[in-house]
Amino acid sequence: MSVRGRFLDTRPLRGSRPFRDLWIGSSASQLGGQIATVAVLAQVWDLTGSPVGTGAIGLATGVPMVLFGLLGGTLADTVDRRAVVRATTAGQLLAAVGLCVQAAMGNRSVLVLLALVALGAACGALGAPARRTFPVRLLPADQVAAGLALTNVSFQAAMLAGPALAGLIIARWDFSAAYAAQAVAVAVSALAVTRLPSMKPEGTDGGTGGRRRPERGGWRIVLRRPTLWGSMATDLSATLLAMPIALFPLVNEIRFDGDPQTLGLFLSAVAVGGITAGLLSGTVTRLRRSGLVQLTAAGVWGLALAGFGLAGPLWVVLGCLAVAGAADTVSVVSRSALVQLETPDAYRGRVSSVEHVIGVAGPELGNFRGGLLASVTSAPFALVIGGLSATAAVAVVAATNSSLRAYRTSRGAVESSPPRADDAAPAPATGQA
């Protein structure tokens, strides 16, 4: 492989205008989401001055994401997926405008604020399963992992730049300006979606008269395919047993006297590792053994977090977190590509909703598990046990799931048909493996 081939694979951006539109819109939306996250956190604290209030943000986002994510999976397998994302993006834009208006009018009700947050989360979750199916319909099979890596890089970049940009906007203007920035970003995303071709589930005519969706749902398909349940079990093992974010403040207090700058470095180190892995993802996305890649990356994630629990010097701590962030990026990209390529198109929406729920619930429950264990032991013990347990659980999945270990991404076309270009959008380019 050439040196160039080891870096970020940009073939999807060069070869497919629809994917390029999707990527630009998603990148804008992710940046706006990070800005809004900081603004909501700051405004809730300003209104309540209570950690219970800021904790309620998680409830306002988490519950709608789980409930509407599952509903969105069924919807994505019934009607045109582009139409679903158009409608839900419009709902997110409405919520962003509402947040801007309530801040500009000097709202003092935290319930109004959280209701708008919940509305935005519900709309995003409803459209998430349909949106997850887009890359596999817009790209040839050998470029799907590369497209997902590009999306992950933009997400990691938003995690780095978004909070800092939010702080500058709020300090220079106010909360309403931050929400206005989010609204502009969501509007860019909405415009990008309108340029995409129609993407109806295979075997339907958009839900107006063709074959109805299959009776068996996403969970049934996942459980019947070893590659799918193995991939999702790997992800759940890694996040449920080793998620470290909730322990960051306690580790920072124990080892670095609670310095807020150090706490910020913890989060930045994870993002830097993720971005670095994304920029060097050409090697990984060209590998066909995506199941083995995911298993290896998930194991490295657990070992890196165990190392974080044992580390003393700051540079070792940050190094372990950077390795964990890089491993997480590799695992996410390989898992997402495997799930989309292995799932028949008629079921992709519902299987994507299962993946979405696991992706939402796993980290949240993992943070809760880590905090609970640390409260009765210590943060280093919780991190070490969690990291080693995650690695052991991944090893069990690898040992018992030969289909996942041996899985190879096809060099040929995916099961789905190409998107219907009823909007005169060009068909995606067919790249070479």
**3-class SS letters over 93-131:** HHHHHHHHHHHHCCCCCHHHHHHHHHHHHHHHHHHHHHH
pLDDT mean over 135-143: 84
pTM above 0.85, yes or no: no
Instruction: Tally Cβ neighbours within 10 Å of residue 161.
Output: 14
pLDDT at 267 over 90: no
Task: Give the residue ranges of DSSP H helices in 133-259.
Answer: 134-138, 144-172, 175-194, 218-224, 226-242, 248-256
Percent of the chain whose predicted confidence (pLDDT) is above 90: 30
Instruction: Tally Cβ neighbours within 10 Å of residue 289.
Output: 15
CA angle (259 as vertex; 313, 59 as ends), nearest 5: 110
Measured distance between the N- and C-terminal CA atoms of the chain, rounded to whole angstroms? 12
Between CA 347 and CA 352 the distance in angstroms is 8
Q: Read out DSSP for 233-270?
A: HHHHHHHHHH--GGGHHHHHHHHHTT-HHHHHHHHHHH
pLDDT (0 to 100) of residue 101 = 96
Between CA 345 and CA 117 the distance in angstroms is 32
pLDDT (0 to 100) of residue 46 = 82
pLDDT at 112 over 90: yes
Backbone angles phi, psi at 85, to 5 degrees: -70, -35
Q: Which two tokens stand for residue 255?
A: 């080892």
> Which residues are CB-contacts of 247 (< 8 A; sequence separation ≥ 6)?
370, 371, 374, 379, 382, 383
- Residues composing the chain: 433
pLDDT at 178 over 50: yes
Domain with CATH 1.20.1250.20 in the chain: 8-201, 218-411
> Which residues are CB-contacts of 337 (< 8 A; sequence separation ≥ 6)?
144, 145, 148, 285, 290, 409
Q: Give the range among 65-79, 210-224, 386-400 with minimum mean pLDDT.
A: 210-224
- pLDDT confidence of 203, banded at 50, 70, 90? low
Q: Which two tokens stand for residue 278?
A: 């994304």
Q: Are 298 and 331 in contact (CB under 8 A)?
A: yes
Q: Are 177 and 170 in contact (CB under 8 A)?
A: yes
pLDDT mean over 314-340: 89
Per CATH, the number for 8-201 is 1.20.1250.20
Between CA 226 and CA 401 the distance in angstroms is 7
338 or 323: whose pLDDT is higher? Answer: 323
CA angle (411 as vertex; 85, 76 as ends), nearest 5: 20
Expressed in percent and rounded to 5, the helix, strand and coil fractions of the chain are: 80, 0, 20
pLDDT (0 to 100) of residue 52 = 63
Right CATH for 218-411 from 3.30.530.20, 3.50.50.60, 1.10.10.10, 1.20.1250.20: 1.20.1250.20
414 or 303: whose pLDDT is higher? Answer: 303
pLDDT mean over 238-259: 81
pLDDT at 7 over 50: yes
> Which residues are CB-contacts of 220 (< 8 A; sequence separation ≥ 6)?
none
- pLDDT confidence of 431, banded at 50, 70, 90? very low
pLDDT (0 to 100) of residue 398 = 93
pLDDT mean over 166-189: 91
Q: Are 107 and 46 in contact (CB under 8 A)?
A: no
Q: Looking at the DSSP assignment, which residues form a beta bridge with residue 198?
A: 420
415 or 161: whose pLDDT is higher? Answer: 161
Sign of CA dihedral 389, 350, 149, 86: negative
pLDDT mean over 31-56: 80
Tell me, what amino acid is at 231? S
The owner of tokens 């992950």 is 152
- pLDDT confidence of 99, banded at 50, 70, 90? very high
CA angle (70 as vertex; 335, 367 as ends), nearest 5: 60
Q: Which two tokens stand for residue 201?
A: 């589930």
Q: Give the range among 34-38, 51-55, 379-383, 424-428 with minimum mean pLDDT.
A: 424-428
Instruction: Tally Cβ neighbours within 10 Å of residue 381.
Output: 13
Percent of the chain whose predicted confidence (pLDDT) is above 70: 85
pLDDT (0 to 100) of residue 290 = 82
Rounded mean pLDDT of the chain?
Answer: 81
- pLDDT confidence of 208, banded at 50, 70, 90? very low
- CA 256, distance to chain mean position in Å, is 30
The owner of tokens 């800092």 is 164
pLDDT at 414 over 90: no
The owner of tokens 């289909």 is 403
CA-nearest of 389, 225, 229 to 299 is 389
